[in-house]
Amino acid sequence: MTAPILISPSVLNADLANLTGEIGRIASADYVHLDVMDNHFVPNMTFGLPVVERILATTAVPADVHLMIDDPDTWAPAYAEAGAASVTFHAEAARAPVRLARELRAKGARASLALRPATGIENYLDLLPEFDMVLVMTVEPGFGGQSFITGTLPKIRRTRDAITRSGGDVWIQVDGGVSRETIADAAAAGANVFVAGSAVYSAADPAEEIAVLRGKATDAFRP
Ligand SMILES: O=C(CO)[C@@H](O)[C@H](O)COP(=O)(O)O
Ligand SMILES: [Fe+2]
């Protein structure tokens, strides 16, 4: 089964006072990536459920919510209930990741497990069927505009090979420093969902940037 190539721009570095307009500029994207930060799990704070609910009510682009928060076991299900297409929580923060993934799926969202750069995939390989996506962070979570950590590429490849061996249909997302310069390496390692914040929103034409990123990832992807 070949994984689809999907582009999910992050609005973290967009104009947060004009989210409706900013999401309108990426209407050709597959998802809009919403970074929820609580200033506990990461040293930064963005927005939470009320803002995400308003985005969901006012945009047609499916939402890919990335929770960088403590206690996702308590907070994540509400994002699924609100209508997020995909809800990602961090392995380092969840008390009961399998129970939480099942709850998210039961509420109609795709369930996704995120790993910080220093967190291995090995402890989670047997649990992959419980998830629809693994997010391999390619920067330390917390801020946009950082440089892609190439040392995460072997983990992406190990994850893709394990998914292929198991015959499953789990997507691999990369998030952080994804650009024209780095997207091919991530795709060649087996990633198929690409978060790009500054690359898309600092481009003169975000729609064109999405098309270029999609083309480079499609050419480079190795299952
Ligand atoms: O989750 C995060 C940061 O923690 C990301 O989603 C960033 O917002 C991506 O931004 P760029 O690295 O593409 O600028
Ligand atoms: Fe993110």
Non-local CB neighbours of 144 within 8 Å, separated by 6+ positions? 10, 12, 13, 35, 197, 198
| pLDDT tens-digit map of 78-114 | 999 999 999 999 999 999 999 999 999 999 999 999 9
Known binder of ligand: residue 142?
yes
- Check the annotation: does 143 bind a ligand: yes
Helix ranges (H only) for the chain are 19-24, 49-58, 72-82, 97-106, 153-166, 183-189, 198-201, 206-220
Ligand 2 centroid to residue 138 C-alpha, Å = 10
Dist. CA 24–CA 26, nearest whole Å: 5
What is the mean pLDDT of the segment spanning 196-200? 98
Tell me, using a 6 A CB cutoff, whether residue 185 lines ligand 1: no
Is-contact 142 44, C-beta < 8 A?
Answer: yes
Q: What is the pLDDT of residues 163-187, one digit of tens each?
A: 999 999 999 999 999 999 999 999 9
146 lines ligand 1 (CB under 6 A): yes
Q: What is the per-residue pLDDT for 1?
A: 66
> Against a cut of 0.90, is the pTM above it?
yes
Catalytic residue among 30, 35, 64, 185: 35
**37 CA closest ligand 1 atom index:** 4
State the CATH class of domain 6-220: alpha beta
175 is in an annotated binding site: yes
- The single residue listed with the structure tokens 């006012």 is 58
pLDDT(149) > 70? yes
Which contacts qualify for 212-216: CB closer than 8 Å, 24 or more apart? 212/180, 213/7, 213/178, 213/179, 213/180, 213/183, 214/5, 214/7, 216/180, 216/183, 216/184, 216/187
Residue 57 has a pLDDT of 97
Q: Could you say which DSSP state residue 54 is in? A: H
Active site residue 35: yes
Q: 5-36 burial string, b = 16+ CB within 10 Å, else e?
A: bbbbbbbbbbeeeebeebbebbeebbbbbbbb
pLDDT beyond 90 at 2: no
The backbone region for 156, taken as left when phi is positive above 0, alpha when psi lies in -120 to 50, beta otherwise, is alpha
**What is the pLDDT averaged over residues 147-152?**
98
Ligand closest to the CA atom of residue 177: 1
Please name which of 92, 75, 82 lies closest in space to residue 38, comparing C-alpha atoms: 75
For the chain, give the mean pLDDT. 97
Give the tens place of pLDDT for each residue, 29-77: 999 999 999 999 999 999 999 999 999 999 999 999 999 999 999 999 9
Nearest by Cα to 89 from 103, 99, 101: 101
